[in-house]
Structure formats: structure tokens, C-alpha cells
Amino acid sequence: MPVSMDFLFLAFFAWPGLQIALYQRLKTFHIAEFQRLGSPRLFFACTPGTNWLLFKFLIQRKYKLMNDPVLGRLGGSMLIFLIVYIVSFTSVVIGQLT
């Protein structure tokens, strides 16, 4: 089943909303981890470095170590979302090449 470009477009805009929720939760309840992620202020301070730190945080599942059920669900959802987006984007690119 081909991946819809609409899905990729919507997912592209959904990601910042998930980031806002994650950063706000970290800033409110886990300030030390928020600071380790570079104290991002979304679009104004979202550099490749802070994005890399966020991806590492998600991939290493550090959100599970915080004993915060809301953060655990959010982090797990973001990890799944990220994987689905990468696979979908890759399938579109490969489909365009063939």
C-alpha cells in the first residue's frame, strides 16, 4: 500500500505539537533532563544538536527511567511516531526512485 503524501504532510506538522508537550512536561516536572536536552524553546532553539539529543532521549528510552506515566506514554508514542514517519518517508523516496 503506497504511503499517502497527505499523511507525511500532516505528520510533519504534528511533530512540533508532540515536541511542545514533551518539552513542557520535562520543563515542569524533570528540569534536569530538560536542561540536558539543551533547554529547547522549540523553533527558536531547535538546532540539529538539540534535535539529536531529543532523538537519543527517545531511542534510548530515557523517558522510562523518570517514573512518570504521562511522560512514558508521550515518549513511547513519539518513538513510534518517529519510526513510522521515517519508514513512510523512506518508502516514498524509494517509490519515487523506481
d(CA 65, CA 87): 27
The packing angle between helices 5-29 and 69-97, to 10°, is: 150
In the chain, at which residue ranges do the beta strands (DSSP E only) sit? none
pTM, two decimals, is 0.86
pLDDT at 1: 53
Residue from 16, 19, 31, 20 nearest 68 by CA:
31
Domain that holds residue 88: 5-97
Mean pLDDT by 10 residues, the chain (98 residues): 78 91 96 93 73 95 96 97 92 83
Sign of the C-alpha dihedral, residues 67, 23, 53, 29?
negative
d(CA 33, CA 26): 7
Q: How many domains does the chain have?
A: 1
pLDDT at 79: 97
pLDDT at 60: 97
